Structure 1
């Protein structure tokens, strides 16, 4: 049984991963939570603490003999750097203890869920095996996450004491993913008000790479299962997870149609909205290595294709949130 600690409980991806790992029968799953009550809905074992408390994380890893730590925590520069330093220290200590006893052990594992958008903004075909940060690398990433390429490289560079992997997901959709609220919410508001047009913070010609939350979770599951093999064989430990490339124009107009908006959809550019800028990063990527090496088999292909489900799921989720808030304030 492999003991897995997942950092990041709020995202649709991590919640899907919490369900799939125990279902396989091969993993015992832990999460970091400030109280046991917050972890109870996830159906996994909680470790007291939060991402800003490395002492608690260290205690949890040692007390529960954690084999692999999975970071699904987004772009949090300060705690991630501190976390990596702590994991490196723990990994080195484990190897030293085993070496003193004349034993060989599997390295402590760390898998970080990053994003393809940290590496390039281009419609040209690209791949994940080309190292980032070189003079001839692709166009720099959106400013909001410009520090992430260095962090990715920092993760790769500690492979001497940790078994590491960086899983770069494309722009995630599905399960009413909150990232898309900045597009779907104005459309829903325009429908209710009877407006004849709606302006959205998107670049008209952008074509982001996309992947469903379910498939990101299955990619992380595959990464956990293949981590020791990738580390032992010294394979380049960076993998892209992408299933389609679709235009923001098609996505926005399809969402408007499914939400019942009859007016004109205007893509007015991202302006100073850094999140929208990151979402409009054009990516023509490939997940061939993830399929071949990790055995990843994505199931959901195409955002626009299933927009009748995804847009209405967002609307239903928003309605539920407002109803729940009204109940709390009553």
Structure 2
């Protein structure tokens, strides 16, 4: 299988490209950075140094089996231009008799809104507020990747598949690096929102495994959406208490034990406070996928040490 990973040097894209290479596939990795290209090459991944919206990699399209998009577009119109360019290139460059080029798009679960305990979300739960304007809407969903899902799933040229990861953890920590770095700089353990919340999470290695399995079966799962999440949510208060114990923060202030919540200061921090219960099933039943890594709280000392190593190297 010949696979191109867009955003291959990123937090999601790099372990995906690694996992595909280790599974024995021929992997191309797009990156904008010459320095990161060397990192890809060291992992036996062919680096493609360019902007993802350029046509300099389109010569690969006639013989690719799968494109995996792990980019983080901040502008919907810019992203649609990129996607339409890939569609156009596939239509003009691939033989008419060839199978559809599979396109796996990385989205998220924010478009479901802030459901709390009211609704258990699955891979096939409808997005009840597709315009993202209702009372439970998450503001970031208006600006994020999720609004282009339907264009990808309904493409007549590409075989579209969507993966919706929840909060991704591991190594350099992604979203959780904000809390880790705040502690490093200020000595405080804090998190946006209010007590009593929960976190839906997935480790980046388990997420990468899902992408490998989806790529392998892409020709028979086109048009489907797969949520990537651990089987159980994390208790936010328990996560923060555990971190306080690891880093030695303690107090006699009652149940908060040395940590504090704060009002979100920007749209991203507000989105982090989104409360959802997620129970995916399609990846398990169709792809044989099961998360294997320690949960965020159970393995927090390991993940904190990994973060420190990633920023101190």
Same-fold status (TM-score > 0.5): yes
- The alpha-carbon deviation at position 170 of structure 1 amounts to 0.8
The CA deviation string for residues 98-130 of structure 1, in whole angstroms up to 9 with x for no partner, is 2xxxxx321011101111223222233111212
Structure 1 unaligned blocks of 5 or more: 99-103, 192-196, 322-330
Partner of residue 151, structure 1: 148
Per mean C-alpha deviation after superposition, the further-off stretch among 274-283 and 29-38 is 29-38
Match of 2:39 among 35, 38, 41: 41
Q: Residue 79 and residue 133 in structure 1: after superposition, are their counterparts in 2 closer, same or farther (change >3 A)?
A: farther
Whole-angstrom distance in 2 between the partners of 1:21 and 1:206: 35
**Per-residue deviation, 1:34:** 4.0
Larger radius of gyration: 1
- Structure 1 residue 219, shift from structure 2 partner: 0.9
Q: Secondary structure at the match of 2:219?
A: helix
Matched, 1:261 2:258: no
Give 1:129-208 correspondences, 5 Å limit.
129-132=124-127, 140-147=136-143, 148-158=145-155, 160-191=156-187, 198-208=189-199
**CA pair 54-238 structure 1, distance change in 2 beyond 3 A:** same
> What is the aligned partner in structure 2 of residue 58 from structure 1?
58
How far 1:199 sits from its partner (Å)?
4.2
When normalised by structure 2's length, the TM-score is 0.85
| d(CA) in 2 for partners of 1:30, 1:177 | 25
Question: Counterpart in 2 of 1:325?
Answer: none
* Deviation (angstroms), 1:154: 1.6
Contact 1:126 1:285 in 2 (8 A): yes
Q: Partner residue of 2:80?
A: 81
Question: Residue 213 of structure 1 aligns with which residue?
Answer: 204
Name the counterpart of 2:69.
Answer: 71
Cα–Cα, structure 1 residues 227 and 61, in superposed 2: closer, same or farther, change >3 Å?
A: same
Please name the residue that 1:308 is paired with: 301
Give the Cα–Cα distance (whole angstroms) in 1 for the partners of residues 290 and 220 of structure 2. Answer: 18
Aligned-CA RMSD value:
2.5
TM-score (norm 1): 0.81
Return the structure number with greater helix share: 1
Q: How many residues align?
A: 298
Distance, in Å, in 2 between the alignment partners of 1:187 and 1:313 is 15
Give runs of aligned pairs for residues 216-255 of structure 1, distance below 5 A: 216-231=207-222, 236-243=223-230, 244-255=232-243
Q: Distance in 2 between matches of 1:14 and 1:6?
A: 7
1:12 is paired with a residue whose SS is: coil
